[in-house]
Amino acid sequence: MLIVHVHVHVKPEHVDAFIAASTDNARASLQEPGILRFDVIQEQGARERFVLVEVYRTDDAPARHKETPHYKTWRDAVEPMMAEPRRSTRYAAAFPIDDAGWRSS
């Protein structure tokens, strides 16, 4: 399992459009077999800052995700909305969860 946090700083005038594009991408991404979870979260008190929380079943699933039409549409749409380049951090699950996103006992 691979967890990726994508940090995004959006120009203030594009916040609503970014949310719409990212929500469409998240919905489509959840249909991919390699994606377990895909959240779009917005920082409280800084409405132009977001984190995409992407949970992949395998280490190679992100590469497959980046080849999908919905990802490419999202990437091209949101690029000019960003106040700075997005950055990502990769994590491994330290506490096991199952395919439904619940803690495994």
- pLDDT reported for residue 102: 55
The confidence band for 88, taking pLDDT boundaries of 50, 70 and 90, is very high
Residue 99 pLDDT exceeds 70: no
pLDDT classification of 96: cutoffs 50, 70, 90: low
**Which tens digit of pLDDT belongs to each residue from 67-85?**
999 999 999 999 999 999 9
The pLDDT-based confidence of 101 (bands split at 50, 70, 90) is low
CATH code of the domain made up of 2-92: 3.30.70.100
Rounded to whole angstroms, the Cα distance separating 29 from 67 reads: 11
Tokens 């959006």 found at: 10
pTM: 0.88
State yes or no: pLDDT of 103 exceeds 60. no
Tell me the pLDDT tens digit for each residue of 23-34: 999 999 999 999
Domain ranges (residues) in the chain? 2-92
